[in-house]
A and B are shown apart, each in its own frame.
Chain A
Amino acid sequence: MEKIIECKDVVRVFTSRALLGKKQETRALDGLSFTIPQGIVFGLLGPNGSGKTTTIRILATLLTPTSGQAKVLGYDVVKEASKVRGRIGLILGGERGLYGRLTGEENLKYFAALNHLNREAANKRVKEILELVNLTQDSRRLVEQYSRGMRQRLHIARGLLTDPEVLFMDEPTIGLDPAGAQELRQLIPTLVKRGKTILLTTHYMSEADELSHQIAIISQGRVIVTGAPSTIKRSFAKIAVCEVICRQTQANAVEAMQALQGIQRVTAIADGPIQRITIHMKPGTEFKAKVTEILGKGNIESLVMRDPTLEEAYLSIIK
């Protein structure tokens, strides 16, 4: 499969200097390497400050790496930046990046002009894209009057404006209401079917799990785990999860189980008379006998091990 995005030992150091103080260095990326083939959604996950946005900014030609090499569509993002631009779309989450004093339509027409679309092409494309993000009715309102969700939809519209081959989405559903977020999640597979390659960062693990074909978890500027979501959940998670259904609620059972060796976290939800208990533990922990003793053998309706969710796997890896 053709490599569409490639990062090889990318390092990015930010330097700042206090007024009369000494130089301070922050290593945002510390030898980041990964490749992304064509036509997939690649989820880049990691805690705040792990280097996700820096990675996207480097790939979008907004930032130069201190060392290492990054390529998009086979072009070096530093030496051949002009060949990368125009074939990529950038969608950043948040309030910044739009002209509040222009209407939504004017914002898009400006970026259409920057992307060399002529009047006819720009008008046609802007109309299409406004319909796609459901902003047609509000297209002639000033963006400063838009809600946060509308602004985010305008960000998405701008990212898709030139029908780019590669899309960088940095927390694209931030600020969107559940319906808007779902619409975007439904749009992403359609884009992938049309051959687009998408690099997605998000803090919503269910979103990453649902959309991503491959995932990389980064921490302190390095990839610590990469693979398909199912592989990450099964092979890399440093956690085992057991679901127990009890016929009756047991007082102090959660605290008692929490105290057992190897058990990391116990949560319980009452569902009428039934109690659903989730036990997170280190893989290989011998727990069944002790848990059965605490809850009472006759009280246990079922006790099953399940794969951790992506969020559970992620948290166990990051810790």
Chain B
Amino acid sequence: MYNFMVQAYATYKGLFYWLSWMSYTTNIFGGPIVAVITYSILGQFAFSMEAARYYGLGIILNQMAFVIISGITQAYTYDRELGTISFFYTTPANRLVNYLSRPLFHLPNGLLVFGTGLTTLWLLLGIDFGIMNWPAFILAVLIAAFSVAAFSQLLGIFTIIIRDWTHAMVVSTGILFIFTGMIIPVESFPPALQGFAGVLPITNALSAIRSAISGTASSAIYISILREAIVGIVYLTIGFLGFVFFEKVAKRNGTLERDEI
């Protein structure tokens, strides 16, 4: 456990480049506040209070995903750019422990973004916390953060073999924005795209969060949460297999040697 925590701390502090007061407060607090205000007011004027809440909640999840994806993919990108990953590869370190330790401290950041966004939404539009299904709500938020982190791990590992990979982060957050029901209801997509949306992180959790906020107590919420958890576990597993495989590919292709030039 000690070694796990040391690795989590070192990869977070050493490789998360938003860890200065200015960057951290801007991204963790400023970003969600501005985004929620923009989309809530937009929704309010364009449609109704209900639409505004719908947009607002979607955008909170979007901001949470953005912060977690950015943080974790940064860790992989900088580990390669700094040349430190080469030294990691010469150690007998347990690859699974290292892989699992990397997202640990990015999860609280995502949850902090969610809390900031939700507070902003409550102040702007009001949320009836009295009717909320709290256990389902909390579980859905935690599972959403987990599945986004797992998805980010899968995105991040490609940096080991592809140097200019940061654009993929931008594309991925865009895909999540469009297809997970943040702004556009998933039900409005053709069936094939609904299937695609179902295997993306956030989609199932967001549906559960919306139901939990409206006070729904049906088992459908927990099925959505379970689906989200399964999606996360699948991403995490594929990501780990890729983490191990890409190490071999990098050594075979001499990928990391090119960085020395």
Contact = CB atoms under 8 A, between A and B. Distances in A.
Contact of B7 (A14, A15, A61, A114): A114
A88 B86 CA distance: 14
Contacts of A156: none
Contact of A64 (B10, B82, B86, B251): B251
B246 to A, nearest CB: 14
Given A97-B84, A106-B10, A61 B2 contact: no
Interface in B89-105: 89-94, 98
A118 interface: yes
A122 B6 CA distance: 11
B251 A82 contact: no
B251 A113 contact: no
A98 B257 contact: no
Contacts of A90: 87, 90
A109 interface: yes
Contact of A63 (B82, B92, B98, B251): B251
Contact of B13 (A54, A106, A111, A158): A106
A120 to B, nearest CB: 9
Q: Chain A: interface residue count, which band?
A: 35 or more
B254 interface: yes
Given A96-B260, A101-B19, A114-B88, A63 B6 contact: no
Interface string B1-21: 011001101110111010100
Chain B interface helix/strand/loop/mixed: helix
B10 A102 contact: yes
A119 interface: yes
A166 to B, nearest CB: 11
Contacts of A101: 13-15, 17, 19
B84 A113 contact: no
Contact of A82 (B9, B10, B19, B92): B92
A116 interface: yes
A253 interface: no
Contacts of B15: 99, 101
Contacts of A60: 90
B84 A115 contact: no
B91 A115 contact: yes
Interface string A158-202: 100000000000000000000000000000000000000000000
B90 A85 contact: yes
A201 B19 CA distance: 38
A99 B7 CA distance: 12
B87 A113 contact: no
B90 A97 contact: no
B3 A102 contact: no
Contact of B91 (A64, A85, A118): A85
A287 interface: no
B254 A158 contact: no
Nearest to B98: A114
Given A61-B89, A90-B90, A119-B2, A96 B83 contact: yes
A15 B253 CA distance: 8
Most chain A C-beta atoms within 10 Å of own C-beta, residue among B19, B82, B92, B253: B92
Given A114-B7, A115-B92, 4 more contacts: A100-B82, A114-B88, A115-B93, A158-B87
Interface of A: 12, 14-16, 53-54, 57, 60-64, 82, 85-86, 88, 90, 96-102, 106-107, 109-116, 118-119, 122, 158
25 contacts: A53-B260, A61-B90, A62-B251, A64-B251, A82-B92, A96-B83, A97-B82, A97-B87, A98-B82, A99-B82, A100-B14, A100-B82, A106-B10, A107-B14, A109-B10, A110-B10, A110-B14, A113-B93, A114-B3, A114-B7, A114-B93, A115-B93, A116-B3, A116-B93, A119-B2
